[in-house]
Amino acid sequence: MPWWIYAAFVLLVTTLIVLDLSVLHRGEKRISVKKALGWTCFWISLAMLFNVFIYFLYDGRLLPNWMTGEHASGRDAAIQFFTGYLLEYSLSVDNIFVIALIIEAFRVPSEHQHRLLFWGILGAALLRGVMILAGATLMEHFEWTMYFFGALLIFSALRMAFADEEDFDPNKSFVMKTARKLFPVTHEYHGKNFFIIQEGKKVATPMLLALILIESCDVMFAVDSIPAVFGVTQDPFLVFTSNIFAILGLRSLYFALAGMMADFHYLKMALVVLLIFIGVKMLLEHWLGVWIPNWDEIKNVASLGVIAVILGAGIVASMLHKPKPKPPAETPETPAV
């Protein structure tokens, strides 16, 4: 895909972000669940509209193929974009859970959470652009990168399966310890500011620490999600655009789901199975083309179907089976004197 199409997409995303911050969410106020659900539907609809654009772009009906350099089927490109978007959006649910823990640990005021997530997601978009470019370059020049990414996904899935988020303490992380050594930090919030001037010195607020930790966590999540999308498509433009659209909807998805995360207790296991499936698929990609007739023609639809079934099973299982609430801890009786 030529550079000017990337530039046009980045301009579109920049316009949406500026519109979001300066017009649609100008006031600092708490975002209701109803409003968050409305914005979640808006971002999903926008991604689906862009998928229609992908179909016509790759099919040569929007621009001649000699201008785009693409000769892929519009249908295949649209399926790959949708699969990558669905995959990235689903993996973002686990990211949301960690973000919720960070916001709770730092006691970020509800009226400032929108601003925090806005800058966090903007930074995540820039970082992922760099990581996708690096991943695409590696896959283009080194065939073994596909196998490395596949093994990385399987390792990430096992790590996710045995991780215990309840023991998460941001103040004990290496990132937080390093940040506190680099600059002084106040113990109180000062409105929406990341920095303040105190006794003639520039001092950071807890808002900045929360932002740094959110950014660092997103880098770790990107190590899982970006190879997973490369397991669906090796087209850098489709990987980049599907990732960015999923990230743009992450903030509204947080406000819509943050209070209901405990209800999706089987979704985490579904994500583990999902990562293992894609990792194994990447490791066996060559052999699948040998074992299964017409694999190249059906692999996009097959991947989408398997991903949809795994995620659907996790959601349905969570809705049908509610875990029993843990009994409150017993208070030891005071011995009689």
> What is the tens place of the pLDDT at every residue in 253-291?
777 776 566 666 777 788 888 888 888 888 887 788 777
- 13-22, 28-37, 132-141, 268-277: which has the minimum mean pLDDT? 28-37
Q: What is the pLDDT of residue 335?
A: 42
242 vs 169 pLDDT, higher one: 242
The mean pLDDT of 160-182, rounded to a whole number, is 69
Closest CA to 208 of 283, 290, 112: 112
Q: Is the pLDDT of residue 218 over 80?
A: no
The mean pLDDT of 305-332, rounded to a whole number, is 72
Tokens of 249: 């909807």
Instruction: Give the burial class of 219: count Cβ atoms within 10 A of its Cβ; 0-12 exposed, 13-18 middle, 19 or more buried.
Output: middle
187: DSSP letter: S
Please give the helix or strand (H or E) that residue 316 lies within, else none.
Answer: helix 295-320
Q: What is the pLDDT of residue 51?
A: 94
Beta carbons of 19 and 57 less than 8 angstroms apart = no
Residue 281's alpha-carbon distances to 138, 147, 230, in angstroms, are 19, 10, 11
Q: What is the pLDDT of residue 163?
A: 67
Residue 61's alpha-carbon distances to 34, 54, 71, 252, in angstroms, are 39, 10, 11, 34
Tokens of 234: 């090796």
Mean pLDDT of the residues in the chain: 78
Q: What is the pLDDT of residue 54?
A: 92
Q: What is the pLDDT of residue 53?
A: 92
The mean pLDDT of 44-50, rounded to a whole number, is 93
d(CA 86, CA 25): 26
166 vs 2 pLDDT, higher one: 2
Beta carbons of 208 and 127 less than 8 angstroms apart = no
Please give the helix or strand (H or E) that residue 201 lies within, else none.
Answer: strand 201-204
The mean pLDDT of 52-81, rounded to a whole number, is 77
Strands 201-204 and 195-198: antiparallel
pTM: 0.79
d(CA 75, CA 55): 6
d(CA 320, CA 264): 11
Q: What angle do CA 189, 193, 197 make, to 5 degrees?
A: 90
Q: Is the pLDDT of residue 333 over 50?
A: no
Instruction: Give the burial class of 188: count Cβ atoms within 10 A of its Cβ; 0-12 exposed, 13-18 middle, 19 or more buried.
Output: exposed
As a whole number of angstroms, the longest Cα–Cα distance in the chain is: 92
Q: Is the pLDDT of residue 309 over 80?
A: yes
Query: Can you give the length of the chain in residues?
Result: 337
Q: Is the pLDDT of residue 320 over 50?
A: yes
State pLDDT tens for residues 86-105: 888 888 776 777 777 788 77
Residue 162: CB atoms within 10 A of its CB come to: 7
d(CA 251, CA 37): 11
State pLDDT tens for residues 228-255: 888 888 888 999 999 889 888 777 777 7
Q: What is the pLDDT of residue 334?
A: 41
337 pLDDT band, cuts 50/70/90, is very low
The mean pLDDT of 36-42, rounded to a whole number, is 84
Closest CA to 58 of 241, 249, 295: 241
The mean pLDDT of 159-183, rounded to a whole number, is 70
